[in-house]
Amino acid sequence: MSETDETRSNVESNGGADNELPKTCEVVTGCTIPVDIFIQSSDEKLFGAHTQNLQAFSEGFPMTHDSRKVVWFTESATILRLFLPFTHNVKPKDLSTLSVDQLVSLAEVADKYKNQFALLACRKAFSHIAGKSSENAMKILRFKSVHGDFEEIDDVARLTMGFTVKNAMKVFGQNRESFCIWVQYQESWLKCMEEYRVAVSEHPDFRVHPTGYKESISCPSLANIVTAMEPVVKHLGLRSVDDFERALRIARSSPTVHPGCNCRALGLWRASIHKSLAGLPRWSQFS
Ligand SMILES: [Zn+2]
Ligand SMILES: [Zn+2]
């Protein structure tokens, strides 16, 4: 059914001043709550809604003094159709299939009208959608930074480190403060990654593998692990100590890696890497 057909099916056609106002609520299937207020989208679609629900679920919802009880919104019908179900006591929809632009617009309207249920559902979908591409992550990062939603912001920010400053500036637009944080974050990130690379390559310096003679050598077992880890890290990405540990576990289970060695080399190497990754930036450092 097209939007126009849907609209018509909800419009009373018996004439009078209210003849264009929808009589039913179309955003939740089977909703029987009486319609006593109307919401008009920026693209002029009218939705029937319920005053009590709007007030109960969305603190900060604008009330109307309009004689027809119409409230004008700056959001499109597509976004309102996503948002209005969150003013009902129904199971929230899974938002992970939305486009990043739709999800961010929904989060913006949810934040504007303080609808915690919608915000929670958006947050749940953020990490999934941010993980799909760095462009998605960047748009979500901008929302989180501008709206002070700092929960898990580092997980999202770390997905955007491949962006050029020029492209980041385009995404942040007028949000200069967030852009400045991002620039400092990336600078700190690159420095930390350089320290990590140095720490990875310094394993031959740990000459603690016993030979049975006077001299110890660098550990051949560790050298194997380091080689096996390289493609794993490349594939999984490295954004935290946990990522490093995960890659290490995978590399150690590889058939090309000899059974573990009891010398101190692996422990020393691991500690130096943990130390290098301790310098990973946090958004809160700059905000
Ligand atoms: Zn309803
Ligand atoms: Zn060894």
What is the domain partition of the chain in residue ranges?
Answer: 3-130, 188-286
Structure tokens at 154: 């580092």
Average pLDDT over residues 182-210: 95
What would the pLDDT profile of 164-179 be if each residue is shown by its tens digit?
999 999 999 999 999 9
What would the pLDDT profile of 101-132 be if each residue is shown by its tens digit?
999 999 999 999 999 999 999 999 998 999 99
Query: Minimum-distance ligand to the CA of 54?
Result: 1
Can you tell me which residue has the tokens 């490295």?
Answer: 238
Query: Minimum-distance ligand to the CA of 203?
Result: 2
Average pLDDT over residues 147-158: 94
Which residue would you say has higher pLDDT here, 67 or 27? 27
Query: Minimum-distance ligand to the CA of 206?
Result: 2
pLDDT category at 287 given cuts 50, 70, 90 is confident
Q: What is the dihedral of CA 108, 113, 116, 120, to 10 degrees?
A: -10
Q: Do strands 46-49 and 37-40 pair parallel, antiparallel, or not at all (unpaired)?
A: antiparallel
| Model confidence at 14: pLDDT above 50 | no
CA 85 / ligand 1 centre spacing (Å): 7
The pTM of the full predicted model, rounded to 2 decimals, is: 0.83
CA 271 / ligand 2 centre spacing (Å): 15
- Which residues on adjacent β-strands are paired with residue 70? 38
Residue 160 to residue 163: CA distance in whole angstroms: 6
pLDDT reported for residue 262:
87
CA 220 / ligand 1 centre spacing (Å): 68
What would the pLDDT profile of 208-261 be if each residue is shown by its tens digit?
998 888 899 999 999 999 999 999 999 998 999 999 999 999 999 888 787 778
From the number of C-beta atoms within 10 Å of its C-beta (0-12, 13-18, 19+), residue 184 rates as middle
Q: What fold, for 3-130?
A: Potassium Channel Kv1.1; Chain A (3.30.710)
Average pLDDT over residues 23-37: 92
Residue 69 to residue 52: CA distance in whole angstroms: 13
Report helix angle 241-252 to 220-236, nearest 10. Answer: 120
CA 28 / ligand 1 centre spacing (Å): 6
CA 46 / ligand 1 centre spacing (Å): 13
CA 264 / ligand 2 centre spacing (Å): 7
Q: What does the DSSP 8-state code read for residue 160?
A: G
Query: Minimum-distance ligand to the CA of 265?
Result: 2
pLDDT category at 18 given cuts 50, 70, 90 is low
Residue 63 to residue 194: CA distance in whole angstroms: 55
Residue 197 to residue 273: CA distance in whole angstroms: 9
CA 13 / ligand 1 centre spacing (Å): 21
Residue 265 to residue 224: CA distance in whole angstroms: 12
Which residue would you say has higher pLDDT here, 41 or 67? 41
In this predicted structure, which of 4-8, 183-187, 214-218 has the lowest mean pLDDT? 4-8
